[in-house]
Amino acid sequence: MDFITGSDTEVEYNERGYVILIKSKNLIPNYSFEAGTNEDADNWTEAGDADRASDKVHSGAWSLKSICVNSNASSTNGPFTVTPGHTYKFGVWIFRDSGFAGSTSIDMSDLPTGDPTAVVSASGAWTYGYVNWQNPSYTSVTVRAVTDGTSNGKVWFDDLELIDLTEASGATYGLYTSNLLECDTDVTFGKLSWIADIPEGCTIAFLTASASSPDGLNASLDTVATAVTNSGECEIKSPPNKYFQFRAILKSVSGKITPVLKKVTVTSAVKAINTEVGAERSYKAVLVPGELVNFKIHFNIPMSTDPADSCAVTIVPVSGTPLTLNGSGIWTDSYTFETNNTETLGSMGGGFATVAVSGGKTTTYSHPIRQTYSSFILFATDEKATVDRFNLFPNPFSPNGDGRNDEASLMFTAGTDPTDVTVKIFDLKGKLMKTLFSRQAVIGDQTVAWDGRDEKGQICPVGVYVIQLKKGNVAKNGTITLAK
């Protein structure tokens, strides 16, 4: 499961939705020109050749545009309060078009002493310019956006900033808490991985918690990693449980820079499970009475290969008695376990069945394995699924890239006489989302997979969809649920 939505303390989301430390306050009101009415920006007195504009922006929807009709034109904002003796960062983003030949800068309205000026000279792209200003004695200032050039050029100003660096000095911390993850049953959690920008002098510490109820999460936090690299992963220490949450503590030693947390992914200990049928252990998801079935289990984290730590697999049908496969099984390596069942299947009543994995032991923290796959396999009541009945598994499915139930498969029998067959996906309003299968002269058993994408290759929204199997002139509809 992927995260970057949750609650926060002293952190915020930047324009891309990433988690960062709350920046020191920008003292310039309406520094990005977002507030205003039409061409007039609040807090600003625009020069005669300057207006609020939306045709070119660095961020947001607005900037300040000067068409440079007048030489040495300036737009002003202020006065506002500053602190004598403090050091400030004074910066701006400027875009100069290729026809502009003059100078572009920001300053503080020609202060009598030590007027700071940030100049940008490059053209053709948004360029950042700044200067650090040591305030000698002033208690208030007015900032100016200045152009001095030909009448043919155009200049855009955006995202001015005046940051009090003295106030911002010292270590700063921020806490991000993820949304609660609720599982259907107890799950053994595997890895936490992250993608971030972590400058020198910054860290992100990760803590995890699991509990049988939401109320128990705050009492069970475990530190699993302190990240100093931009990407990485660590094994989750929290034991198997139904509820899970993680926290990230963002730290900046100086308070002047921030780590950026972009993405966190949490996986279960079990990576995947395969159904194997017969002596040759070929993959098959539809099982029938009399078959010999086994399972191969793949893990995300290292497992104890002691024979005493073998895994058990239980098949739980919709109706009928659950079956735990006999035989101890073998570890082929620390990441793969194969069952060693020697009994053929009896009747399981038909329909979907859940597969539950238990036992085993993780190497690092000695956690037992708990993993359940709902509607993972399908039992037919005889040797073939009939043409009057087609089967979907898993249902629901979740094409989120976590390696679990990312595709749904449709199995059907076209019969012995060649016939035209189509399989289509519709939303509940009847809109065609995807044609999965369209062939002529089809015979025999067929399997078609849907990865949750529409004709344009985009993942469809979460919800219920109609799947239509048409054989000749006879159509049969079923439903399938796409989950997160």
40-68 pLDDT per residue, tens = 999 999 988 889 999 999 888 999 998 86
Backbone phi, then psi, for 79, in 5-degree steps?
A: -80, 160
Residues 6+ apart with CB under 8 A from 215: none
Question: Is residue 416 pLDDT above 60, yes or no?
Answer: yes
Range of lowest pLDDT (234-238, 240-244, 333-337, 435-439): 435-439
Angle at 394 (CA atoms; ends 404, 380), nearest 5 degrees: 135
Q: How confident is the model at residue 385 (pLDDT cuts 50, 70, 90)?
A: very low
For residues 397 and 283, membership in a common domain is answered with no
Domain, as residue range, for 467: 390-484
**pTM reported for the whole predicted model:** 0.53
Does residue 475 lie in a domain region? yes
Does residue 114 lie in a domain region? yes
For residues 264 and 186, membership in a common domain is answered with yes
| C-alpha 341, offset from chain centre | 39
Average pLDDT on 437-441 reads 82
Does residue 14 lie in a domain region? yes
Range of lowest pLDDT (173-187, 206-220, 227-241, 379-393): 379-393
For residues 228 and 257, membership in a common domain is answered with yes
Does residue 30 lie in a domain region? no
Does residue 295 lie in a domain region? yes
CB-based contact 260:220 (threshold 8 Å): no
For residues 162 and 176, membership in a common domain is answered with no
Note the pLDDT of residue 387: 35
| Domain total of the chain | 4
Which of 168, 198, 222 is at the close of a domain?
Answer: 168
Provide the token pair at 401. 């890239």
How far apart, in whole angstroms, are the C-alpha atoms of residue 316 and residue 185? 14
For residues 158 and 56, membership in a common domain is answered with yes
For residues 156 and 186, membership in a common domain is answered with no
At 442-452, the pLDDT tens digits run: 776 677 889 99
Q: Which residue has the higher pLDDT, 381 or 342?
A: 342
Determine whether 475 is exposed, middle or buried from the number of CB atoms within 10 Å of its CB (0-12, 13-18, 19+). Answer: exposed
Provide the token pair at 18. 């990433």
Note the pLDDT of residue 179: 85
For residues 212 and 227, membership in a common domain is answered with yes
At 318-363, the pLDDT tens digits run: 666 788 886 578 999 999 999 888 777 776 666 667 888 998 999 9
Residues 6+ apart with CB under 8 A from 473: none
Q: Are strands 63-66 and 50-53 parallel, antiparallel or unpaired?
A: antiparallel
